[in-house]
Structure 1
Amino acid sequence: MNTLENKRILIIGFVWPEPNSSAAGTRMMQLISFFKKKGVKITFASTASESQFSKELIGVDKKRIALNCSSFDEFILELKPVFVLFDRFMTEEQFGWRVAQHCPDAIRMLDTEDLHCLREARRISVLKNKPFELINDIAKREIASIFRCDVTLMISEFEMELLQSHFRVPHFLLFYLPIWVEDEILNLPNFEERSDFMFIGNFLHSPNHDAVVYLKEVIWPLLFKKFPEAKMQVYGAYPTPKINSLHNPKQSFFVHGRAESSFEVISKAKVLLAPIRFGAGIKGKLLEAMLYGIPSVTSTIGAEAMNGEFEWNGFIRDSPIEFAEKAIELYQNKPIWLQAQQKGLEILKHRFSKHLFEDTFCEVLIDKLKQFKKYREDNFIGAMLMHHFLQSTKYMAKWIEEKNKR
């Protein structure tokens, strides 16, 4: 068994992927592309409705599924997948017990996107001014989900280390697979052809929402006072009324909403600003900034787990005053800007190039198939959690299903 060809995977999506709206959508499309390239037969299912921005899934079977409904049991029994990929821990909670009961030999994979419990702990600490507390209700649910799965895909090395050191998750349950970039040479505008500061991000994602509000209310007044010629261009899917209210041409702060093409708007700008105060994982906007040749100024959390031993492609600053000063310096100083641009390309080449991960990921999946019984024997905590999960969740789901029939 040295190939994945003709194996069947069921991907249970939290939502239908929107790669032009979020890094999560890009991540899902990369996983689908990987499995297609390896000859895997793919079925994508979700309880969510498709939107006008959902990506067309060419060569993929699609299925709308329902919560707390035995129709899923019939569906998965007929499908008989070899792999099941849960998109975020919430889908594993909803469908993991049904997969385990009806396809017990299927390899259960979890894609975290980012560590939700870490993001939530940081959000509460920042917005509610409370001490940082990683042990929260989300952590108990998310870590349990990780233990119940055969392998969890992690996009952040920092979070992998946190899971092993703080929560004692065995290394064999985790696999580092960041959002990757294609090895391609793009025709990019030069320093003189670019203008303006910019931000891009999905505003349904609370760290992005907070970052732009913080940028407008705290950092931009400092920057604009010292550099009145500056213009700030903000793009992002699903802007809230609060985000739209930040649009202020008199202060050269422009909110545009969804960008049809991230390449078009990022490659025309000169410096990306991302004062991210809480969050987790790696930031898709900062990867795209490097790919499209634009240096950035971000926070410590923004750059977390991205540059490794390499220098950042711009500046990392948490102080609003220093953030504004470095943004202006990067914008005005061509030699520093060019050096920062090159640093970004080095980070991509050595840390996020697609070829660094594809073969190893394939080998891990084949190994899981060959030795899944041994791995499960070594994961007693996961077996114990699955046992109790089956007993509690199964009967709760059946009760809800009967209740809904009335």
Structure 2
Amino acid sequence: AALPAPGQPHSKTLHAFVVPEEAAGSGLDKAIQILERPGRRQLDGRPRVSLGDRSPSAEFARRRSVRSFADTPVPRGALDGLLGRLAGEEGGLVRHRYPSAGSLYPVQAHLLVKPGRVDGIEGGAYYHDPVDHALVRLAPDLPPLGTGHPPTARSLDEAAFLLLLVADLAVLRPTYGDAARDFCLLEAGYLGQLLMTDLPDTLGLLPVGGLQVAGLAETLALHGDQVLVHALAGGVPDAASRHGSLAADLQRHLARHLPDYMVPRRITLLPSLPLSANGKVDRQALRPPAEPLPAAASAETEVVRALVGEILGSNAIGDHANLFDLGATSLHLVRLQCRLAEQRGGRAPAVVDLFRLPTVADIARHLAEAPASAAVADGNARAQRRLEARRRALPQDRQAR
């Protein structure tokens, strides 16, 4: 829908309204189910003994799932350290950092590495030898992967590698009979918890359910008693989208595939589209949410708001309004960067940074948090580079004078 830009009633911008698939019911039902804590027993009226301290908040962050991966190659040291957690300590009895039925350790780690995504390791399929702590190359090509969950499928596409936990049931069956698979599933759970706890910032993992691997047995050279029991996708966490949203993801996707004028400046997520009496989409009822009320303005906010208003020719600039919604272009951002640098003694974000700071409040917050000395030094360095470039452009005789 083409709607008036915030603060500019006579100027329209493209606005998209999106109904996420999960909002049709399943996502909401799941959220309600989780909040109701269905796994908690309801034993009202019985005597209770209050316990002491809970785990501190920091403990809950030690194990984390990463759902969006950057295309940055995984550092070799990070992968070596991850697989090092699975290596056993030899000498007498074999010891590992996780329990196993009968100390037999039937769960084996295999790795599918995408080409160019892990430093120093070629793309292909590998087996991790826990005794030598080495990767044994099994195949140069990767099998097709799939999952029925669209968000997980996107994570698989972004991931640098896939860690497959394969159980060799023949190892446990002589001792545990039909319970062999159950004990292997337990071991895979222990192993997954160990892998996902206290990871470095350069590495993230995501447990993958419902994974479908075409030709897995052929690729990994498995026999009939070896079955896949768990999988984890891995890669470098995407910091830019770690705190992102579906709207931001959609906007980035559209910007890669559409001309600039066709990319919506704002995307609003709705539980459902408003319908008219005859069941068609009621476009008159499609309206973006009201802009949030601004907090007390800082000195930086006042300066930025005044400059934006001057450059865009508007006196109604909301602190939280997206500048592109107000009609800003890349040329406007260049002018804004120059004006900020003039007024703030070099303390101005680079033009490329202004694309990541799309509101007056964002720019003001950046100015308030940026170290003044670093900003001034950066400005002086840019001025020195411009001066040197001008000198090189002058004739030799004028440089001598």
| TM-score (normalizing by structure 1) | 0.21
More helix per residue: 1 or 2? Answer: 1
| TM-score (normalizing by structure 2) | 0.21
Q: Which has the higher contact order (CA 8 A, sep 6+)?
A: 2
